[in-house]
Amino acid sequence: MKHILIANTKGGSGKTTLATNLAGYLATLGGSVVLSDLDRQQSSTQWILRRPAELPLIYPHNPRVKAMPAAETEWLVTDSPAGLRDEKLSEAIKQANCVIIPIQPSAFDIGATSDFLDRLTEEKAIRKNKTFVALVGIRVNVRTHAAAMLAEFMEQTGFPVLTYLRNAQVYATAAEQGVSLFDMRPSMVAQDVEQWTPLLDWVMEATAP
């Protein structure tokens, strides 16, 4: 099983947006996909419950909803809570093939994420390259001071910077309908899918045998 952890201790950083759209993409590949929702708000689980029946199946992993057995799972995407810290964080990192960290362009998000990244550098699994970490800028409006500030911060972290996802209404629409970008009409999401390409390529490389 290939396990992708979406993490950031900053609440509202875009973890669920990344987790649901990534799970949606992986489901289009034809393998079995489980989306594990550890957040108290259960946004990912609600997204799955809204998902149209004709779309590729994504199994929820939630104590209140039956999931498929882990032995049959090809992909596990974990939408982690903001409170993932200490022993729980260490265990989640050890179990993951890779960790994707979304960061929004604000001073609050950058400050909180900076502390989180300092914590990650202490993890043995990351130091020994057993678990790979990368960053994604999310809800970014290009050509703004905030976007430039975010780009400067991310480039200085020492972690790979995969892509910058624009602040687009299509993400809100996808969330409301229980779909991912990759389930929507291509003409609606061409620019956004292009922005996702480096992220998807990195996931495939980071989870390769």
Give the chain's domain count: 1
So what's the pLDDT on residue 148? 96
**What is the pLDDT confidence band of residue 71, given thresholds at 50, 70 and 90?**
low
Q: How many helices (H) and strands (E) does the chain have?
A: 8, 7
Query: 179 pLDDT exceeds 80?
Result: yes
Residue 30 falls inside a structural domain: yes
So what's the pLDDT on residue 39? 86
Query: 64 pLDDT exceeds 70?
Result: no
Residue 126 falls inside a structural domain: yes
Residue 207 falls inside a structural domain: no
Residue 205 falls inside a structural domain: no
Q: What tokens does 59 get?
A: 């199994």
The region of weakest confidence among 71-80, 107-116, 127-136, 165-174 is: 71-80
**What is the pLDDT confidence band of residue 3, given thresholds at 50, 70 and 90?**
very high
Q: What's the per-residue H, E or C state across 57-125?
A: CCEEEECCECCCCHHHCCEEEEECCCCCCHHHHHHHHHHCCEEEEEECCCHHHHHHHHHHHHHHCCCHH
Residue 175 belongs to what domain range? Answer: 2-200
Residue-averaged pLDDT of the chain? 92
CA distances from 127 to 78, 82, 123, 131 (A): 21, 23, 6, 8
CB contact burial 108-129 (16+ within 10 A = b; e otherwise): ebbebbeebbeebeebebbeee
Q: How far apart are CA 200 and CA 151, in angstroms?
A: 20
Phi, psi of 4 (to 5 degrees): -115, 120
Of 190 and 127, the structure prediction assigns the larger pLDDT to 190
Q: Which residues pair with 61 in a beta bridge?
A: 36
**What is the pLDDT confidence band of residue 65, given thresholds at 50, 70 and 90?**
low
Q: What tokens does 5 get?
A: 């952890």
Residue 7 falls inside a structural domain: yes
**What is the pLDDT confidence band of residue 115, given thresholds at 50, 70 and 90?**
very high
Q: Which residues pair with 170 in a beta bridge?
A: none
Directed axis angle between helix 169-177 and helix 43-50, to 10°? Answer: 70
Residue 206 falls inside a structural domain: no
CATH number at residue 191: 3.40.50.300
Residue 209 falls inside a structural domain: no
